[in-house]
Structure 1
Amino acid sequence: MTSTPPAQPPAPERRPPGGPVLQDSVTEAIATAFFEELASTGYARLSLEAVAKRAGAGKAAIYRRWPSKLEMTVALATAVAVDAPVPADTGTLRGDVLAFLTEIADALRRPLPSRIIPDLLAEGARNPELQQALFTAVRDTRRSKATRMLDQAIERGELPANTDRELALDLLAGPLYWRLAVLHIPTAPDYLNRLTDKLLAAIAA
């Protein structure tokens, strides 16, 4: 019988240079409240006062962590993008693409992401500063992870070395996002398998 591992000590509280201790539990509560408020009201109408109220914290607690709504949005969206799992290495490109599409579909079917992602994209068209920050922090992070999936297929000899990675990435993300996030059309049980086969044919063409 294996012994029970000792309880881990609590994570040390973070203190910004010259500032007060930032409790992780408060940061997590604010982050959760932020995404809930963002899904409820959209970026344009979101206020830090409403986020603080929903989190059960003071507005000062937000400003100790993020100096503005823009910086808060970028920081928290970036954290989600960075924490997203690297696409699975199943041993085949078809398996990798199917796992990749399944992850995207699962995310877009959740209530919060399905409302937040289209709203931020639309707001980015009106707010160049937000758009550029999100493109750099979120889009580039996610695309770099997906690029690794294509590189693995090239290393295995499933794709030619001159595969157009940029076009392949657009093909991988576009159709499913359009169906679930824009048109809000549900998918049949075999949809992801059929989409995988079509995408593989297009990428390899």
Structure 2
Amino acid sequence: MTTDPHFPPPAGARTAKRTPAGAAVLREDVTEAIRAAVFAELAAVGYARMSIEGIARRAGVGKTAVYRRWRSKLHLVLDLVSAFAVDGLPAPATGSLYGDVRALIEVLARALRHPVASQVIPDLLVEAVRNPEIAQTIRAALLDPQHGIAAGLVRDAVARGELPEGTDVERVLDLVAGPLYWRLVVMRTEPAQGYDTHMDDLARAAVAALTARTA
């Protein structure tokens, strides 16, 4: 699985826990091979066609090794999505609305370029319509943290007098995350002027739209 220093490692890789006496020891290299296989299988065939058999074959292990760790393919996928959380990313704190919006765009663009976002999340969003557990996990792991970062941005801008009380946090995310998601995940096209210039332009447009409501 591709790693990124801005994203936490999969849960099993974070801390070594003491194994209770008599419990089976699960090899960490096997666990990580299975997680990598889940990611590759999702990207290759999608959630609906993904199977434990395919995951085990890709990981080079038996199905039993998978079931020792997760009850089903659903729990495997939920584990993968939960590991890809934006919790812990630095919240913008530049001292200005434009600076904070620009920093938020940088954070979200980095997240959307991550292979989990570009190759896996779109397929899971389709499945989330039919599976409330997937929808809940995506919201808790991805959407709620983004909302929290945007809420802090609005709170700071209100305190500086740059935005009025009651500014809609969802509007901030619509103006910032929406265009980024369309460009990086749906269209997957490089901006002609380069990413830095594109993000500068997007930040200016978002700030203009947010502050126009107070004029």
**Which TM-score bucket, shorter chain as reference?**
0.7 to 0.9
Alignment match of 2:31 (pick from 19, 27, 30): 27
Letter in 2 for 1:59: K
Unaligned 5+ segments in structure 2 are: 1-14
Distance 1:92 1:16, change over 3 A: farther
Report % sequence identity.
47
Is 1:14–1:24's contact at 8 Å kept on the other side of the alignment?
no
In structure 1, distance between residues paired with 2:183 and 2:45: 23
1:18: Cα distance to partner? Answer: 7.6
Distance 1:77 1:165, change over 3 A: same
Which residue of 2 is the match for residue 193 of structure 1?
Answer: 200
Local SS of the residue matching 2:84: helix
Is 1:124–1:130's contact at 8 Å kept on the other side of the alignment?
yes
Letter in 2 for 1:181: V
Which residue of 2 is the match for residue 142 of structure 1?
Answer: 146
Unaligned 5+ segments in structure 1 are: 1-10
Is 2:92–2:103's contact at 8 Å kept on the other side of the alignment?
yes
In structure 2, distance between residues paired with 1:161 and 1:99: 22
In structure 1, distance between residues paired with 2:21 and 2:130: 35
Asked whether 1:182 is paired with 2:186, we answer: yes
Alignment match of 1:48 (pick from 24, 28, 52): 52
Which residue of 1 is the match for residue 167 of structure 2?
Answer: 163
Provide, for residues 116-137 of structure 1, a one-character-per-residue CA deviation record: whole Å limited to 9, x for no partner. Answer: 1211112223434422332244
Which residue of 2 is the match for residue 67 of structure 1?
Answer: 71
Letter in 2 for 1:26: V
In structure 1, distance between residues paired with 2:133 and 2:152: 28
Q: Could you tell me the TM-score, scaled by structure 2's length? A: 0.76
1:107: Cα distance to partner? Answer: 3.7
Asked whether 1:131 is paired with 2:135, we answer: yes
In structure 2, distance between residues paired with 1:109 and 1:69: 25
In structure 1, distance between residues paired with 2:55 and 2:167: 45
In structure 1, distance between residues paired with 2:21 and 2:80: 21
Provide, for residues 136-155 of structure 1, a one-character-per-residue CA deviation record: whole Å limited to 9, x for no partner. Answer: 44322332233223323333
Is 1:13–1:24's contact at 8 Å kept on the other side of the alignment?
no
Q: Please, which moves more after superposition, 12-21 or 62-71?
A: 12-21
Is 2:150–2:169's contact at 8 Å kept on the other side of the alignment?
no
